[in-house]
Amino acid sequence: MNITIIYGQKHKGNTWRLAQLFLDQFEEKQITEFYLPESAPAYCSGCLNCIYKGETLCPHAKAVQPIVNALDEADLIVMASPCYVMNMTGQMKTLLDHLAYRYLSHRPEPSMFGKQGLVLSTATGLGARKTAKTIAGNLFFWGVAKIYRFGMPIGAADFDHIPKKRMQKITRKANGIARRIRKKDGRARPGLKTRLMFSIMKLGQKNNDWNPRDREHWVRQGWLKA
């Protein structure tokens, strides 16, 4: 399995440890990993070049496009962010901003419709679930077929101090999700919600006279045929 993992932090703390719990569950794997902000340090400047002119004209394309290529190569996309003030880290959000042009409303990458996504987050108390949900929302709008979320309140000073019973529960849950991912590898198909959203966006693209770059993409993919 080809796995691309993006860490919303550069240190190997609780979220990294949680990610390893999952990665250990996949035997035959090739992992490509990115740590933020090192891998993509710049904020989106809001120039809209990606959306109107093309992603290669983004001022930060040199950093962003290698990540995009790795996402396209992956069977499983893993996004892992600690919860900072009730949501993802700023650096993770910064990367996601750079990928707006790949939303279903613009130029979704067709291979996303056959991929699986896993979103991980840790918090001390509150916010990990919300963090995972927000990031998962982005994967949904990229068109990722099957998305799993695991937002985990650590409830301890750090990973090594999680009470044994709780750790067993976490491991059980992680194993269960990993099993489902392995089973679906190469066989993920978009669910009803994604298909519905795609149809709505298709209607929009049929009447799109404001962004030729997006419309060309939909025509080239053959998505606007009746």
Ligand X SMILES: Cc1cc2nc3c(=O)[nH]c(=O)nc-3n(C[C@H](O)[C@H](O)[C@H](O)COP(=O)(O)O)c2cc1C
Interacting residues toward ligand X by CB under 6 A: 9, 13-16, 82-86, 122-127, 154
Smallest separation (angstroms) from ligand X to the CB of 18: 8
CA distances from 8 to 11, 45, 53, 79 (A): 9, 19, 28, 8
Contact between 25 and 37 (Cβ < 8 Å): no
Contact between 81 and 8 (Cβ < 8 Å): yes
Smallest separation (angstroms) from ligand X to the CB of 153: 6
Nearer to ligand X, 104 or 123 (CB): 123
Smallest separation (angstroms) from ligand X to the CB of 16: 6
- 104-121: buried (b, 16+ CB within 10 Å) or exposed (e) per residue? bbbbbbeebbbbbbbbbb
Nearer to ligand X, 37 or 190 (CB): 37
| 32 beta partners | 4
Instruction: Give φ, ψ of 91 to 5 degrees.
Output: -70, -35
Nearer to ligand X, 128 or 139 (CB): 128
| 149 beta partners | 119
Nearer to ligand X, 145 or 152 (CB): 152
Smallest separation (angstroms) from ligand X to the CB of 158: 7
